[in-house]
Chains A and B, each alone.
Chain A
Amino acid sequence: MMKNQNRVILILLLLTSFSQVTLNAQQSTIHWMQGIPQSIYTNPGLQPDARTYIGMPALSSISTGVSHTGFKFNDLVRQDNGSFYIDDDNMLSKLRKNNYFGWNYQHEILAFGFRVGDNYFSLNLTEKFDTRVGYPKDLMTLLLKGNTYFMDKDLAANFDGTGINANHYRELGFGYSKEFIHGVRAGARAKVLFGMGNINFEKTDISLYTDPETYAWNIQTNVLVNSSLPFIKFDLNEEDNEIIIDDDHELSPGDYIGNTENMGFAVDLGGVYEIDHRFTVGFSVLDLGFISWNSDLSNLSLKAESFDFDGVELDDLMDEDVDFGENLADTINELFEVEQTHNSYRTSLPAKLLLSGTYNISDIHKAGLLARGEIYDGSFYPSFTASYSIQPIPAIGASLSYSVIHGNFSNVGAGLHMNIWPLQIYLSTDNFIPAMRPHTMQTATFQFGINWVIGYRPDVGEKPMYSW
């Protein structure tokens, strides 16, 4: 029987694998579903079918997603003739240089939009949570293989990219789209951002080199961790390098929610070109912006240093009163001498690029392609989606998508909206395979919402916008 602790580890690993979503939930499936007003968030040049829409307050869009850019569960736990074993070599081979676990949650509070002639105006107020835990391949290799793996190759283990980036902010967006010339629409969404809380590992440049001749260590550090955490107050005791948390600190929910000290701005830009009645292409850039963090600040840093640890003095090793482990711990503690300041800092939103194209097979059938890329922490994370959509009547639309995300080919998504005039209910996912084959999953998203949509049916004799 498998030990309980192993079962727990397995479940955690499985859940960890489930929790893989690309940032900000992919929303690839919904991209070409203009029956759903929230599709315009993927390209501000798009205009929804509805002449006017009003999101059900607090229910117009709830989306969440998890993502892992590293490995699938079955990359680590493999089967051989019905027995399971952990193949850490295979798992390591799947890792990129930098990997992260991500969790994202967006909750739209208010939303509405309306068309005036060729212009489309929209507004949204959305709470956004985004958390990523980054880990480099070298860190996992060190844990699983030891530092001799690097030593034998005469390489340094590099832990850049280790850390946590967590963000909670409120987005107030003003969208505008216009058909400037026939078949060409362009738009922008200006977003005022209100930062609520943030942890940002700005720099985690840490490396460990083990000399193959002497086994001496060279450790290089340059770390800066910024935070703006109104719900927790802490200070560094620099004498003993300890974080002291103020247990008496209290924060009312109203103060937290109403914090306007951390302002930021961002913009989404996009355009759509309807080449002919069958082909349409689109391009958008999302989340070009930043947040300045000014309240409840802490900047913890390790000075950029190169430190050599090549062993203790012989006397210390022979001295029974000297604990070697303690000595080593003290040395490392001295190495990681933390400093704290309370300076403002700025974080950028992870920008996304979307390039899409669609082909109207008929009035009710549509095939689409979407190339999506995200820039995070200096790395580019691409994904590709192919979709098939059907909208037999204006009130009902469905879509099926297939995505390649982080090298994972097991991503099949689906979307559906149904208008019970004027109430629209929609839901979408970029990958429902985890529900069937959980061990193959690296990403999962889910989006749900209710809108009031008015004027989504084309007038008599008028073709629907885009292909329907």
Chain B
Amino acid sequence: MSALAAFAIVLAVIFHSCDYSYFDIEEIEYNYSPEFALPLVNANMYFEDLVEQDEWDMIEVDDENLIHFIFKDSISFSPGHDLFDIPDQEHGFSISIDPADFNFNEFKSSNDTVYEETIYENFVFEFPGEEVLLEYIEFLEGLMTSSVEAQRLEDDGFDFVGNFEIIHEGEDYIGGTLSLDSPSEVNFEGKTIEFLSETQDNSIGINIEYYIVKVDESATPGTEPYNINFEHSILDMMYKIVVGFIGEIEFEIGDGSIALDFFEMMDDADIILDGTRFDLIINNSLGVPVDIIFDEFYASKSDESTMELMGEEDRIWSIRYPENIGDVEQTAIHLHDKIDVNEILSFSPEKIYYDMRTIINHQENKQNSDYGFIKYDSEVDINFEIDVPLWGGFDIALQDTVDISFEELPDELEELTLNINIDNGFPLGAEIQAYFLTEDEHGEPIENLVSLFEDDDTNIIDAAPTDPDDNIVIEPKTKRTFVTVDRDKFDTIKNAEHLILRSKLNTYNFEEGETVKILNDYNIGFQMGVKAKLSVDL
């Protein structure tokens, strides 16, 4: 029985310890506050990754692996046939025949010749310009039309039949037959006309051997002299080559600009560049002297400030020309010898403007035109080439203001820490600071609420050191930066309406005047992770 009593006591104790208080919980406190770390960015970037894809064509790498920005543009003159055009040529003349000279009687039958004679006439080509004196023209196209008119002769029953031939210094036969009702057409395609050297007036001769033929059985010569009118025209001429003294021809190349996008991003820049070239490469297949004249040549910025790129005395360039037909002569003009490239680059131009014209056989310092040639497809190509090797130093400050709104930042975010790891193989450093501002009633930023970084911790990228002898990076520089935004800062940022982003970019040891080279195999490792601490009251 004692055991049973003990058993009962145990049971009593057990049941006495009943506790259902946990079913009566009305309120429970819990702050869920995990902290998660997440990688955001992992990038290993070479120089080509840092430029826009459409700018890749501007990048070249030399044997030393040094990166060059190559800005290229070109201007081509219109082809030769636009520079020197042969206008349509026309020439007319008349002769008079006395019927008394006809060998005519009643026994002459139809088609019998009653008169024959040979005449010669000069045909002078007219060209624009006073100094033009051509030796020959080789034609691609052209049509010579010759006609004769003698109305009274025709009314009296006679016809005029003539065989004509162009008399010139060359060997090509050019001629045809014409009559009163059938003019002559001669195609100049493939023909060469060599002008008469004796006349020195761009002329050719036309020799006409003609016959007066009885046509009508009842034909009877009149008593008055017959007037016979000749008309010669050469139309739609296109030459292959003209050779001779072509004279002075002025031609507008035009104006335009070369965009230098690379400099658009720079503001308040202090820049030194070594080895920069600014070349004009001119290819000329015109066989005559050509002068290129820059009426305007200056650099400009978006604020409309300008900078003359060269003095007046340097603005006329005489370029070389070929002596043999088909050859091309190249003239290289090194503008960087004439202008201070660093001065221009430090100006950070966004565009280079030009206004150019050319003068062929420029007579300003000559008494006579030069002998030469122009082919129909002769042209002058002017190629600008600005080679900016990334070798130098700079200290650039950039600033931008953007509108922002962080009102929807989650309240559950207690603290955010950015962990930035940069393994920099470039000799370029960067300081970055962001300021969050409110605005006045006009919407202008007025009050600096808070900055993202502590003032003494804005240097997030350290420049890799370089060897002063060869300006090449010795070893990469590693920098780890934490940016923590806590609850208080979040609350402040929520009220911000503008963000001023200031950055300062500089090359290694620039303050000492040291320059650096940017090689193609430099790279920068950029890793950014975020640590977010949440705080949620459940």
Chain A contacts to B: CB under 8 angstroms:
1-2, 6-7, 10, 14, 73-74, 77, 79, 83-86, 88, 143-149, 151, 210, 213-217, 309-314, 317, 324, 365, 388, 390, 400, 412, 433, 436-439
Contact = CB atoms under 8 A, between A and B. Distances in A.
B42 A85 contact: no
B421 A213 contact: yes
Contacts of B30: 85-86, 88
Contacts of A143: 34
B140 interface: no
A439 B19 contact: yes
A62 B174 CA distance: 127
B28 A314 contact: no
Given A146-B36, A215-B531, A412 B43 contact: no
12 contacts: A7-B25, A10-B28, A84-B22, A86-B29, A143-B34, A146-B533, A149-B35, A310-B39, A311-B40, A312-B40, A314-B43, A437-B19
A84 B39 contact: no
Report, nearest first, the 10 A-B pairs whose CB atoms are least far apart.
A215-B529, A146-B34, A311-B42, A86-B30, A311-B39, A310-B42, A314-B43, A436-B18, A146-B35, A215-B37
A348 B489 CA distance: 57
Contact of A2 (B17, B28, B42, B43): B28
A436 B17 contact: yes
Contact of A436 (B4, B19, B43): B19
Interface size of B as a range: 35 or more
Given A1-B27, A83-B27, A436-B14, A400 B39 contact: no
B173 to A, nearest CB: 73
Contact of A85 (B28, B38, B419, B528): B28
A400 B37 contact: no
B449 to A, nearest CB: 25
A148 B419 CA distance: 13
A144 B39 contact: no
Nearest to A388: B7
Nearest to A439: B22
Given A77-B28, A311-B527, A148 B14 contact: no
Nearest to B27: A2
Contacts of B27: 1-2, 83-84
A401 B36 CA distance: 46
Nearest to A314: B43
A241 to B, nearest CB: 22
Q: Point out which of A84, A85, A217 has the most chain B C-beta atoms below 10 A from its C-beta.
A: A84
Interface string B91-108: 000000000000000000
B333 to A, nearest CB: 41
Nearest to B31: A86
B45 interface: yes
Given A2-B28, A216-B42, A144 B22 contact: no
B40 A6 contact: no
Given A148-B35, A216-B529, A313-B42, 20 more contacts: A14-B23, A74-B22, A77-B28, A83-B29, A84-B25, A86-B29, A86-B30, A143-B34, A144-B32, A146-B34, A146-B37, A147-B36, A214-B419, A214-B527, A216-B527, A217-B39, A324-B40, A437-B17, A437-B19, A438-B22
Interface string B515-538: 000000000001111110110001
Contact of A77 (B20, B25, B538): B25
B37 A311 contact: no
Contacts of A147: 36-37
A433 B14 CA distance: 8
Nearest to B530: A215
Contacts of B15: 436
Q: Point out which of B29, B38, B528 has the most chain A C-beta atoms below 10 A from its C-beta.
A: B38
Contacts of B26: 1-2
A312 B528 CA distance: 10
Nearest to A316: B41
Contacts of B22: 10, 14, 73-74, 77, 84, 438-439
Q: Point out which of B29, B42, B538 has the most chain A C-beta atoms below 10 A from its C-beta.
A: B42
A145 B17 contact: no
A147 to B, nearest CB: 6
Given A85-B30, A216-B42, A314-B43, A400 B7 contact: yes
Contacts of A2: 25-28
Contacts of A149: 35
B10 interface: yes
Contacts of A437: 17-19
A361 to B, nearest CB: 8
B3 interface: yes
A79 B421 CA distance: 45
A313 B26 CA distance: 50
Q: Point out which of A151, A311, A313, A324 has the most chain B C-beta atoms below 10 A from its C-beta.
A: A311
Interface string B49-62: 00000000000000
A148 B42 contact: no
Interface string B371-395: 0000000000000000000000000
B39 A309 contact: yes
B18 to A, nearest CB: 4
Nearest to B40: A311
A10 B42 contact: no
A139 to B, nearest CB: 13
A375 B32 CA distance: 35
Contacts of B41: 311-314, 317
B418 to A, nearest CB: 10
Nearest to A414: B11
Contacts of B25: 2, 7, 10, 77, 84
Q: Point out which of B18, B20, B25 has the most chain A C-beta atoms below 10 A from its C-beta.
A: B25
A351 to B, nearest CB: 33
A365 B1 CA distance: 11
Q: Point out which of B32, B43, B534, B538 has the most chain A C-beta atoms below 10 A from its C-beta.
A: B43
A214 B421 contact: yes
A214 B22 CA distance: 44
B527 A438 contact: no
B528 A311 contact: yes
Q: Point out which of A83, A213, A217, A314 has the most chain B C-beta atoms below 10 A from its C-beta.
A: A314
Contacts of A214: 39, 42, 419, 421, 527, 529
Contact of B3 (A6, A74, A365): A365
A167 to B, nearest CB: 32
Contacts of A216: 39, 42, 527, 529
Contacts of B528: 311
A148 B88 CA distance: 90
Contacts of A73: 22
A216 B42 CA distance: 9
B527 A6 contact: no
Nearest to A317: B41
B14 A86 contact: no
B461 to A, nearest CB: 14
A6 B37 contact: no
Contacts of A10: 22, 25, 28
Nearest to A432: B14
A313 B30 CA distance: 38
A310 B36 contact: no
A4 B419 CA distance: 40
Contacts of A313: 41-43
B495 to A, nearest CB: 25
A367 to B, nearest CB: 11
Contacts of B37: 146-148, 151, 210, 215
Contacts of A309: 39
A390 B36 contact: no
A85 B29 contact: yes
Given A145-B35, A146-B37, A215-B530, A400 B10 contact: yes
Nearest to B24: A84
A84 B3 CA distance: 40
Contacts of A1: 26-27
A412 B17 CA distance: 13
A10 B42 CA distance: 42
